[in-house]
Structure 1
Amino acid sequence: MLAARVLPSLLRRSMPSVAVSASRTFSSCTAAAASESFLRAKDAIKDLPERPGNDVMLQLYALFKQATEGANKSPAPGMMDFVGKAKWSAWHDLGDISKEEAEARYIALCKSLGADVDGTGAAAAATATDAPAAPEGEYTTLIVERKENGVVVATMNRPAKKNAISMDMYLELQRVMAETAADPKARALVLTGKGDWYSSGNDLSNFTENMPAGGPGEMAKNAAALLKGFVASFIDFPLPLIAAVNGPAVGIPVTTLGLCDFVYASHTATFETPFTRLGQSPEACSSVVFPRIMGRARANEVLLAGKKLTAAEACEWGLVNEVFSSTDFKAQVAARADAVAALPPQSMRLSKELINSTQQAELHAVNAAECVLLQERWVSDECMGAIMAFMSRKK
């Protein structure tokens, strides 16, 4: 499921009202009946008491487009058009299935969600035969493990790139958080990295490749929207969120730790936020959360001066709960995650909601303000020069 704040209401925004053609390969009587059900389904899905998750919304969007326009022959959007890319991919993945099949699957999916497709005046009960086959989507930048006790482990899986966060990884991290939050069996989410690094932060090719038609200004606007939604996923995540920092972390993998509920670190981990060196500014609410966690003086050392913390220092300064040897790090984290998962789930969820209730609105406001400033910084000469100099040193 793609995160709700990055891929908002695809159905309401993207599905035009269309007249379904009566020119079908099957009988006109069957076509008319199917078209009537299709149009009822399109309207009925808007009346559901709860909006479906974004993975379902993408399926609805793709099937609707396939049923009304046929196979996706349009060019792919640029990589910075995150919403457009997700919608295009969902439609493109349907391949050459017929309009009739897409229409039937759209109707079945609406029924499975409880939409009043048959016009009975009450939501139709979902049955196993109503629901179309919808295997869980695969991840390309994460390894996601769902344990029987409800612990979900999402491992950033770009070890050759030190788990640098690409645009796809941003979307997939939001997706796994949204899926886990919506899963009634889930009890906690663990974020970690594969290999020696937790994450080296933003993949700087995000800023240097595939520039959109609108140039750097459009790129910065799109990136700020993505970042805002990404951080909002942390702010709003309703279950225990556990960071297992298995190695060095740089940039946003560090700042988002302040929004996690439990942070455990390997003794090999380090923590660095080189914002000013790159002509940028803090994100992930760290401008407010870090001073509260470690005090203003120490937060200034981290956020302004770019001081790199060892695992022991991060623990002493309050950013990390516990530090373990790398030899038994995974086992130690697993034991603590299992212990959290064993606690009464409703009590855990409500307690976290209570703890966060006094600051949630503030954090969203801080997130928005930080993204506005970053959007400005990303197009500044200072930032562009710093990034290009950094890229040159890497070559």
Structure 2
Amino acid sequence: MQTTKRIFRVLPRLTAKSTLFGAASAHSRSFYTNRILYSLLDDFNKAKQQVGSLAEDPGNDVKLQMYALFKQSMIGSCNAPKPGMMDFVGKAKWTAWSSLGDLSQDDAKKQYIDVVNGLLANEASAQPVSPQAAAPPGGYHTLVVSNEGGVFTIRINRPDKKNALTMQTYEELIKALDQASNDKTVVLAAVTGTGDYYSSGNDLSNFANIQPDQIAKMADDARDILIRFVGAFIDFPKPLISLVNGPAVGVMVTTLGLYDAVYATDKATFHTPFSQLGQTPEGCSSYTFPKLMGTGKAAEMLLFNQKISAHEACQRDLVTEVFPDSSFHKEVTARLQRHAKYPVKSMVYAKKLYRDQEREILHKINAQECDRLVERWQSEDCINAIMSFFSKKSKM
């Protein structure tokens, strides 16, 4: 009985201690939880400040991703009304934010921090560039141009963007072709890409910067530059050779019908996703593709977005010859050097004889294609397709 009484006397003390320890444990958990949250908030605020210190523009895709993560972290799931069809910028931002769904605000902060830290790490790992090296030779910023032994090489140099074409790249390609045309030491010109890609086509992220009231002007400006760009290929007087070093997309595929020879690595692919993007063919491909490969095979690429391999492109006469990727550079360099030993006037006159027969037709086709694209670029289905493209990119 005494023992039982002692137990009941001790029990309240044990219970009190247990409650105290429980409270302390809960307090400890709360303390550490708050500490983690404060640390996350500090890192998030620090990341916001560091964005302004980035030396390089991360590009519209990344900026859209950062915008969406920032809005999600501050507000939560997208609660803004969907912008109108012609509001490119607003719709791109809304689509990126909306695509995050019910991602928590804390997880959005963490992802935002990771994106910023990744950008800072990439800049830190980049090699310092001397002032002398920073000035691009010949005034080219998106190309590397050289003239060796009569071979004028034009290399698209945006490997981090898969050699996608900006308006500046278009202008520089026109300039480079004009330079090769007028340089008497140049026998032939070759176009290729830096890195693993020949070119991923148009840099569609340029569309994200267009305001609704700028769309019509953008379409007219794009028509002007595309007419001049394709016209530079049509009128190029010397042998023009394409060295397709990797995947090729869009306009850099459609213009292949205007080259005098196309050499490709066996790892190259060829894709013209016009219908997918609500657009239509350019580069005179509506004329040259059926002429080269027949209407059915041309339709597979231009209408139905079929991607083909280098060997398939060779079978369709879009590619002249395919080389093993391991020896591509060595073999095509030797081939170009041999071609450059031929008398330039003989090759220029020979090209003039066959090109003059259809030059007027090609310019007419070029203008018709560009006129149709002006309408397409302002159409609802094209705008929706581009917005869908941005949405998919923001989820990557």
Bin for the TM-score computed over the shorter chain = 0.5 to 0.7
Task: Give the Å deviation of 1:333.
Answer: 1.1
Provide the residue aligned with 1:295 in structure 2. 294
Provide the residue aligned with 1:271 in structure 2. 270
The reply on whether 1:250 has 2:249 as its aligned counterpart is yes
Equivalences for residues 1-395 of structure 1 within 5 A: 137-147=138-148, 149-211=149-211, 214-395=213-394
Quote the sequence identity (%): 48
Q: What is the letter of the counterpart of residue 153 of structure 1? A: T
What is the alpha-carbon distance in structure 1 between the residues aligned to residue 255 and residue 194 of structure 2? 18
What is the alpha-carbon distance in structure 1 between the residues aligned to residue 308 and residue 176 of structure 2? 29
| TM-score when normalising by structure 2 | 0.64
SS of 2:326's partner is coil
Structure 1, unaligned runs of 5 or more: 1-134
CA RMSD of aligned residues (A): 1.3
What is the alpha-carbon distance in structure 1 between the residues aligned to residue 254 and residue 330 of structure 2? 25
In structure 2, do the counterparts of structure 1 residues 142 and 390 end up closer, same or farther at CA, with 3 Å as the change threshold? same
Q: What is the letter of the counterpart of residue 194 of structure 2? A: K
1:76-113 CA-partner distances (Å, limit 9, x unpaired): xxxxxxxxxxxxxxxxxxxxxxxxxxxxxxxxxxxxxx
Task: Give the Å deviation of 1:210.
Answer: 4.9
What is the alpha-carbon distance in structure 1 between the residues aligned to residue 272 and residue 137 of structure 2? 35
What is the alpha-carbon distance in structure 2 between the residues aligned to residue 351 and residue 253 of structure 1? 25
What is the alpha-carbon distance in structure 2 between the residues aligned to residue 206 and residue 310 of structure 1? 28
What is the alpha-carbon distance in structure 1 between the residues aligned to residue 231 and residue 334 of structure 2? 28
| TM-score when normalising by structure 1 | 0.64
Q: What is the letter of the counterpart of residue 293 of structure 2? A: M
Q: Write out the 4+ residue segments of structure 1 that deviate beyond 4 Å after TM superposition.
A: none
What is the alpha-carbon distance in structure 1 between the residues aligned to residue 232 and residue 224 of structure 2? 13
Greater RCO (CA < 8 Å, at least 6 residues apart): 2
SS of 1:363's partner is helix
Q: What is the letter of the counterpart of residue 369 of structure 1? A: Q
Number of corresponding residues:
259
What is the alpha-carbon distance in structure 2 between the residues aligned to residue 181 and residue 209 of structure 1? 34
1:7-54 CA-partner distances (Å, limit 9, x unpaired): xxxxxxxxxxxxxxxxxxxxxxxxxxxxxxxxxxxxxxxxxxxxxxxx
Task: Give the Å deviation of 1:136.
Answer: 6.6
Q: What is the letter of the counterpart of residue 392 of structure 2? A: R
What is the alpha-carbon distance in structure 2 between the residues aligned to residue 231 and residue 138 of structure 1? 22
Q: What is the letter of the counterpart of residue 196 of structure 2? A: D
1:192-251 CA-partner distances (Å, limit 9, x unpaired): 00100000000012222254x952111111101110110000000001111000000010
Provide the residue aligned with 1:128 in structure 2. none
SS of 1:328's partner is helix
Task: Give the Å deviation of 1:137.
Answer: 3.0
